[in-house]
Amino acid sequence: MRYSTIIFDFDGTLADTLEESRRIYNLLAPGYSLREVTTEELPGLRHFSLLELLDHLGIPKRRVPSLLSRGTSMMRGNITRLPLIPGIGEILPALRARATSFGVLTSNSETNVDLFLKAHGLREHFDFISSTSKLTGKSTHLRAIRKTFSLHAAEMLYVGDEIRDIKAAQKAGIAMAAVTWGFNSAESLRAEAPEHLVSSPHELLQLVPPS
């Protein structure tokens, strides 16, 4: 069965938000008694899972919802000026033409995603935007999307850039295309055995051939 519903993560998959996220985190860090993250640290952090990252940065789990909520709110002021992942804007229309439905599932806010996609002239391609306030809550939302649209799991493909995205797709029984241009490294993504490991946006077209 070919993929007919394609669901994208947002940060690091569609939008290049890494440096903006680091900037916002560093602004929030003093208020939570956390240390700042330097640009030089980022390559090393790419190998960490979510739990390893929280442990490395000394972030208590109980602080994560507050950091996430405040961070996404702060990002809103600059969201329309953030760049697309290079090459993603060029392939999305062609990929959309080969699929029945397009969506976004993100830990960012629906408003931020909507504003970003509109700013880049891509909002019309997406049928829905779904947001979870929990960093580990995506599997529940993937199952809900499947139920809402009466889909077979084999029809769905989740596209994301993090280890936690792979784990969520596996838990939901949905195929995963892990992209290497986002937060987690290719090596760390490969170790989680996603169905597809994608190193350029153009490769996504190969996963959904024309009907």
Q: Mind listing the pLDDT tens digit of every residue in the chain (211 residues)?
A: 789 999 999 999 999 999 999 999 999 999 999 999 999 999 999 999 999 999 999 999 899 989 999 999 999 999 999 999 999 999 999 999 999 999 999 999 999 999 999 999 999 999 999 998 776 679 999 999 999 888 899 999 999 999 999 999 999 999 999 999 999 999 999 999 999 999 999 999 999 998 7
**CA 181 to the chain's CA centroid:** 11
Has this prediction a pTM greater than 0.85?
yes
Rounded-to-integer distance, Cα 33 and Cα 200, Å: 38
Same domain, 185 and 114: yes
Stated length of the chain: 211
Rounded-to-integer distance, Cα 72 and Cα 148, Å: 26
Same domain, 113 and 192: yes
Same domain, 66 and 159: no
Other beta carbons within 10 angstroms of residue 147's beta carbon come to 9
Which residue is catalytic, options 9, 11, 161, 165? 9
Same domain, 46 and 115: no
Same domain, 52 and 29: yes
Q: Is residue 9 annotated as a catalytic residue, yes or no?
A: yes
Domain boundary among 80, 104, 133: 80
Same domain, 46 and 140: no
Domain that holds residue 66: 18-80
CATH code (residue 120): 3.40.50.1000
Q: How many domains does the chain have?
A: 2
Same domain, 67 and 151: no
Domain boundary among 80, 102, 120: 80
Same domain, 99 and 24: no
Same domain, 40 and 109: no
DSSP percent split of the chain into helix, strand, coil, nearest 5 = 50, 15, 35
Domain boundary among 80, 110, 132: 80
Residue 40, amino acid: E
Q: What is the DSSP letter of 156?
A: E
